[in-house]
Every structure is written in structure tokens, then in C-alpha cells.
Amino acid sequence: MLTVSLHKIELHALVGLYEEEQIHGNNFEIDVDLFLPDSVPFPFCDYTLINDIVIRVFKKPEFLIETCLLEIHSELKIQFPVCEKIRVIIRKLRPPMPGKVAYAQVCYEK
């Protein structure tokens, strides 16, 4: 199996459940892994298309990172139907909560 990955896509977006997150936004880091069968001919997957999908989804204000996660996964599945599995990970960096928290993370793969 071949894996095509784009990791540590960094962006700032108005995604978050709390009012201040909807106003000031949060910083995010996104990882995408596309798992392809060995029989797939070249070219495999265009990295710029992966990045474009992630950026497009995060341009819309949203309450839950889980919503963004599923939308990214769904769009990748449409763009790259040959994939056997797609993994998307979203990290909200330094989420607004008490204490020192590096990130909150959600992951979906199917």
C-alpha cells in the first residue's frame, strides 16, 4: 500500500464552540494521509488539491472541529475515490481552557 501525506498544514480560522473563538478564531494544524492500493498508476495524488480542500473547509466559520473533520474527509473521498482509506487529524493548538494544554485533537479514518 502507498501512503501520500500532507502534514502540519497550519492555519487560523473562526472555528470553535465558544463566542470568543467565533470572534478571534483559533490556530489549527491538520494532517492528511491517503492510503492507496499498489496498483494505482502515476500520478498518485496532487498535494495542492489536498491543501486546497483543507483551506476551503476552514474558510467557513464553524462551531465544531468534528464538522470540519468529516467535511474534509468527505471531500477527499470524492476527489480521490481510489483511496482505500483516508485519515484526517485536526489539532486545535493551545485551546482556550485553564491550564497549559498543547492541543485538542480529533482524528477520523475510514
Q: Is the pLDDT of residue 39 over 90?
A: no
**Dist CA 77 CA 54 (whole Å):** 13
Task: For the chain, give the mean pLDDT.
Answer: 93
Pick the CATH number of 2-109 from 3.30.1130.10, 2.40.50.180, 3.60.15.10, 3.20.20.70: 3.30.1130.10
| Nearest residue to 28 via CA among 8, 44, 45 | 8
93 CB neighbour count, 10 Å cutoff: 15
Q: Are 49 and 72 in contact (CB under 8 A)?
A: no
Query: What are the tens digits of pLDDT across the range 79-103?
Result: 999 999 999 999 999 998 899 999 9
pLDDT score recorded for residue 67: 97
| 55-72 tens-digit pLDDT | 999 999 999 999 999 999
What is the value of pTM for the model shown? 0.93
